[in-house]
Every structure is written in structure tokens, then in C-alpha cells.
Amino acid sequence: MAVNHPANDRWRRTVRGRVLVMASVMALWGVAMEARLVHLQVFRYDALVEQAERQQSRSVKTIPKRGEILDREGRLLAYSVEADSVVAVPNEVVDPIGTTAAVCEILECSEQRWNTVESRLSGDGLFAYVQRHVSVEAAQRVRGLDVPGIGLIKENRRFYPNSELAAHLLGFVGFDNKGLHGLEQLYDQEISGREGRVLVQTDAHGRAFSRVERPPMAGVSLELTIDKYIQHITERELRIAVREHGAVGGSVVVMNPFTGEILALANEPTFNPNVFGSTSEDERRNRATQAVYEPGSIFKVITASAALEEGLSHPAELFDTNPGSIRFGSRTISDLRNYGVLSFTDVLVRSSNVGASKLSQRLGAERMGRYVRRFGFGERASSDFPGESRGIVYNPARLTESDLASVSMGYSISVTPLQMAAAMSAVANGGELVAPRLVRAVLNEGERVEAPRRVVRRVMSKNTALTMTRMLEDVVTRGTAQSAQLAGYTAAGKTGTTEKLVNGRYQDQGRNIASFAGFTPSTRPELTILVVVDDVNRGGGSVAAPVFQRIAEAALRQLGVPPNIDAPAPVLLADELFLPVTALPVAARLQPAVRTTGIGAAPGTMPDLRGLGARQAVEVATELGLSVEISGDGFVATQMPEPGGAMTPHQTVHLELDRRAMESAP
């Protein structure tokens, strides 16, 4: 019989205890593992899958190429180019301080920029920009550093090859390919295109093993109405005028009065959109559409047009402006001097404040307010200019007689240069207010979609517009705007000079806003030009009118518009009187005129010009294809060849003028 030894019992108990402990530990470990698996695979499943995807795959946006911006002849004004940007993977940077020093030496960082770069490199992220859009030389030097965690990526950068040219129209683009100003901002959605997306999947060691890409879609291109050459001339002449007269700034608008196309728009001061970050807000402001001013005597065009359209006056009516001033209660409105008795035409020619004030009282506040609105003041002139101002127009019901007189001569109302240019264009084109436009067409993969001409409303009849044109021609030939006269072309327009309003108070003499608005050739206008020069000590006739003259002569040559003085005139139908020359058929532009002039001349015979004023005689002669030589002053007294004789195209007629000729004219 076997006997259990006490030592064996102890050994068995020890083994059994250890087995129980191990079994308990294993059981607890199994339960813990199961619990952990349940926690991870059930409760945290979605979060862990998302984390894994973030670690193993990256989705990166690819920026599309922005569309180009072209002038009316297809010349590039803005396009996108590839540029290098310096980037970092912070968790791969071994020595943040040393790396910062090496990179910033190349990039010439400021102290603040140095601190920013060091902060970014000291982090533990996967991506950070160090500096975007660096120069080619800087990119090559960074590439040669071969520092862990520092690299280069290609991005699109907007480039403006003509620097300041049309800067306020084009605007600029930020580092994120977002339009921030001008057309770049207004048409950002169309120009910027659709971004692409790149998906890169990696293994546990960060090695890429698959790539899925959706390519970006380039944006559409814009064809503008502006002419690069005319824009250059306009900016140059405005800059010269501002510097010559010590002005604080100015604006010029050049537009086709029939189509509303902006051929040029310039502001001074200006800026370079390639380096927009170093420019001031004042330099970037589009004064022509965002700055308002009191237009002064140019606004008498609106007053006179309203009076003619309403049948309240006619060009020959006489106005007594004695003694050179007019009172409204305690307020006195004065002319530069006592002009005595003036015809309605000469109220404009002499720019009489007294005459305009008397006209305003005939019109009354309600009618005057109606025409102010009809000409487009108090509303945005165009949809192509972001941030455009509506101007300031007061409620007619609240205008006193004194206020009404102020409005009639361009005070107590604020307008933008673009609004004033559109209003003058309504006179030039025969009475239609046409919305100015800057975008001529949208180009998308070979498809060209033109922007239509938009007539806002008719503001006056063709007869009223024609009468106003003749009166405004006199302003240029013998009035306040003689500096606007052109060689070979007739012009019509009006000057304006207003005392500058600062903080609600008019400044002392010598701080004026000088302006001129006109169109040419006045018989069939191709150009409306508005010039505004801010803060000068002279008037519109001596400051702004010469700028009009220089821009107009260069622009007419660029457009190939033939002279209308001392040159054959085209055959025109009645409906073509308000068509621009470039809108007529070629045959109509070249065929010598043989139509009856309305002064009793049969076709092919020399008309009787005796008794006509110089301007009227020149108009009749040029319409018939005759060249004119004039001597003397006043009215036509004699002419050679004599009336009734045979007339041949391009023939020269010699006219002798005399102030007494009107009395003896047949």
C-alpha cells in the first residue's frame, strides 16, 4: 500500500495553485482581450477607420489654371504661370532653428517672418507653407539646400505683363487663386475654373502605392472692350496732367457712346497688381466708379436737355443775366462776370450760373428730379464694376428753390465719373442711355459668347440730342472749352469746375475739381471722353479739356476714324445721323455725298452758303464732300465758286466772312 509523502502533497498543492493562478490570469486576459476587441471593433470602429484613412491616404486639392484676360484685339492683359512655393513637413525637420536660418537667408525674411517660419517648422504637422510664389533664383537655392523636411511645389501664379496698365479694371488674385479685386473678383467663379483632387495612399512606412486623380478644369477667358493702346495713352495723359497741376488724383473714362463699350478707364494714383500686397487702399481704389464728386457746370447739359425736351426753351431764347447774379433768400449765385443778355446757347457757351438757375425754376423740382434719374444718376451705371457707387441724389420733394438752382449747375448732387460719361453719351448717340460695359465676350474652349448692348432707356428725342450737340459744339469752338478743339475733327462738350467739398465745407479758392466731358467727331461720334482732375487751382477748360484733346486725337487715329473737317462726308440716310462712322458700310463711308442739303441747292450744284455762320457753312460743305477755306469773322459774305455753279467732289470752296453779312444776305 502506497503512502503519500508530505513533501509530495505540498508539491501538488503548489502546482495546483499555480495552475489556478495561471488559469485565472489567462481567463482574465482573454476576457480583457475580448472586451478590448469589442470596444475597438464595435464602439470605436468608425473613428478608427477614419483615422486609418487619414494616415494611409491623403486627398490633396489641385488648383486649376485661371482663364486669360484679353483686350479687344486679343492682346494678353492677365494670365497664369507656374511658380514655386517653399513648403515643409514639420515632423521631418530635424533642426527647426538651423533650418529656419538656412531658409530665411535665401528668402530674406523679416524678423516677424523669421519667427513665423520657425514656429511652423517646430510643429509636428504633415504640411506647412514656408513662402509662396518665390522667384526662380530663390527656388533653385532652396532646392540646393537638401535639408530634411523642406521642399518645393508648383502652383499657379497670376501675372500681369503690362504692370500698372488697366490695374483698376483687372484687379488682382490672392495666393489661394481667389480673385480679390476688379474683374478678377467679379468673374472669379467663371475665370477660376474647377479644382481637381489627388488621392495618394501609403503603407505603414509612408511609401505611396496607389494614386487616383481628378484633373482640374481651367477657367474661361474674358475678352474686354478696352483697347490696350488707347488705355496706355489715357493713363499716360492723365498721369502727366496730375503731376503738372499738382493734383491729388484723377480719372478718365473713354467709351463708345453707341455700344457702351469702355475703350479705356484710368485712375491716378494707380498700382501694380503683380505686387498688390505692397500697395495702399487709396492706390487700389477705382475712382472712376467708386469715388463721387459734384460735377459742376458739366451738369448744365442735363438741365439744358430737360428744358429743351420739355419745350420750355429754345437755343435762340434770350436770358437776362444782369447784374451777373441772382438771389435766393439770403444766398447769392453769381457768374464769373456780368454777361448781360445771353441766348440759351450762350448760357451754355459762357457757362452762366444765373442762366442755369433761371432754367431750373422753369423746370421745377419734380421735373428736374425726373430728368436727373432718367439720365442714370442715383443708380449703378454698369454691372461690370464691383463696388460701384450709386452717387448721391436728393429727394426732389425736399429741394428748395436755392437747392434746385444748385442742382442745375452741378452742386448738391454727387455722381461718379462713369455715370457722367454715360449721361454725356446719351447726348452723343441721339438720346439713349446705354449701359457701359467692360466685358465684350466670354471665351470657353473655342466658343465665343458676346455680351449684348443694353439700352437702359431713352432720355430724350433725337431732335433734342441734335440741338444739344450743336450747342455743345459752340462751347468747344468759342466757349469755355476751346482747348478741346481737335485737328481735323469736330468736337462737342462741356467744362466743369467745382470748389472741393471736404468734411461738409467748401474749401478756399484754389482747391477745385476740374472736369470736361465731350464727344467726337460730333457729327457721328466714336468717342465719349470724361476727364476729372482732383484738387487743382485752375478750371476744367485749362486742366481737363487739353487732356481730352490729346487722348481723343490719339484714339481716333488708333480706331482709323477719318477726319470730318476738310474731308468728303459719307452718304447718310436720316436714320444714320446718329451712327458712328465705323458702324456704317464701307461703301457709305467712301461714296461722295450728293444729297440735297436743305438750303435750296439741286444735286450736283454749288449751294448758296451766304448768310450762314462759319460752323453751319462748314457742316453743309463737308456733307457735300467739299473742302473749305475760310477768312474773316462772322457770317459768310461771299463765296467762290458762286452759288448755282457745277460742283465736283473734293472741290475747295473759299468763304469770306463778315460780321455785317447777315444783314445783307439774300
CATH of the domain at 627: 3.30.10.20
Closest CA to 499 of 536, 547, 532: 536
Query: Same domain, yes or no, for 232 and 162?
Result: no
Length of the chain, please? 666
Query: Looking at the domain assignment, is residue 313 inside a domain?
Result: yes
Choose, from 85, 221, 251, 297, the residue flagged as catalytic: 297
Q: How many CB atoms lie within 10 A of CB 607?
A: 24
220 and 232 belong to one structural domain: no
Three-class SS state of 422? helix
Are 90 and 167 members of one domain?
A: yes
Report, as an integer, the average pLDDT of 651-655.
80
pLDDT given at position 211: 55
Both 129 and 263 in one domain: the answer is no
Residue numbers of the domain that contains 653 = 592-664
Lowest mean pLDDT among 95-99, 416-420, 445-449, 624-628: 624-628
pLDDT of residue 235 exceeding 70? yes
Task: Among 559, 577, 607, give the residue marking a domain's end.
Answer: 559
Task: Tell me what pLDDT residue 576 has.
Answer: 47
Q: Are residues 360 and 407 in the same domain?
A: yes
Q: Mean pLDDT throughout 603-626?
A: 74
Q: From 542, 430, 434, select the one nearest 480 (Cα to Cα).
A: 542
Q: Tell me: do 107 and 68 sit in the same domain.
A: yes
In angstroms, the CA 295 to CA 561 distance is 30
Considering 535, 559, 583, which residue would you say is the last residue of a domain?
Answer: 559
Report the C-alpha gap between 563 and 353 in whole angstroms. Answer: 34
Tell me, yes or no, if 408 is annotated catalytic.
Answer: no
Has residue 37 been placed in a domain?
Answer: no
Could you give the CA distance from residue 182 to residue 169 in angstroms, rounded to a whole number?
Answer: 5
Average pLDDT of the chain?
83
Residue 21 lies in a domain: no
Q: Is residue 516 part of a domain?
A: yes
Judgement on whether residues 140 and 232 belong to the same structural domain of the protein: no
| Domain assignment present for 341 | yes
Q: Which segment of 205-209, 267-271, 287-291 scores lowest on mean pLDDT?
A: 205-209
Mean pLDDT across 628-653 = 77
pLDDT, residue 594, reads 32
For the entire predicted model, the pTM comes to 0.73
Residues 320 and 438 grouped into a single domain = yes
Report how many domains make up the chain: 3
Q: Among 10-24, 57-71, 577-591, whose mean pLDDT is lowest? A: 577-591
In a domain, 15, yes or no: no
Residue that wins the pLDDT comparison between 234 and 651: 234
Q: Which pLDDT score, from 0 to 100, does residue 633 have?
A: 66
**Interval 107-134: pLDDT, tens:** 888 878 778 887 787 876 667 777 777 7
Does 425 lie in the same domain as 446?
Answer: yes
Please tell me whether residues 537 and 602 are part of one structural domain.
no
The pLDDT score that the predictor gives to residue 51 is 61
pLDDT of residue 635: 75
pLDDT score of 637:
84
String of b and e for 7-30 (b: at least 16 CB within 10 Å)?
Answer: eeeeeeeeeeeeeeeeeeeeeeee
Q: Domain check: are 110 and 163 in the same one?
A: yes
What's the confidence (pLDDT) of residue 332? Answer: 92
Render pLDDT for 138-169 as a digit per residue (tens, 0 to 9): 878 888 887 787 877 777 788 899 999 999 99
In a domain, 46, yes or no: no
pLDDT of residue 607: 84
Which one-letter DSSP state was computed for residue 386? Answer: T
DSSP type of residue 293: B
Instruction: Dump pLDDT digits (tens) for 361-375.
Output: 999 999 999 999 999
pLDDT in tens, 450-476: 999 999 999 999 999 999 999 999 999
Question: What percentage of the chain carries pLDDT values higher than 90?
Answer: 50
Q: Is the pLDDT confidence value at 623 over 90?
A: no
Tell me what pLDDT residue 507 has.
64
Q: 623 and 526, same structural domain?
A: no
The set of cell numbers assigned to 45 is 470602429
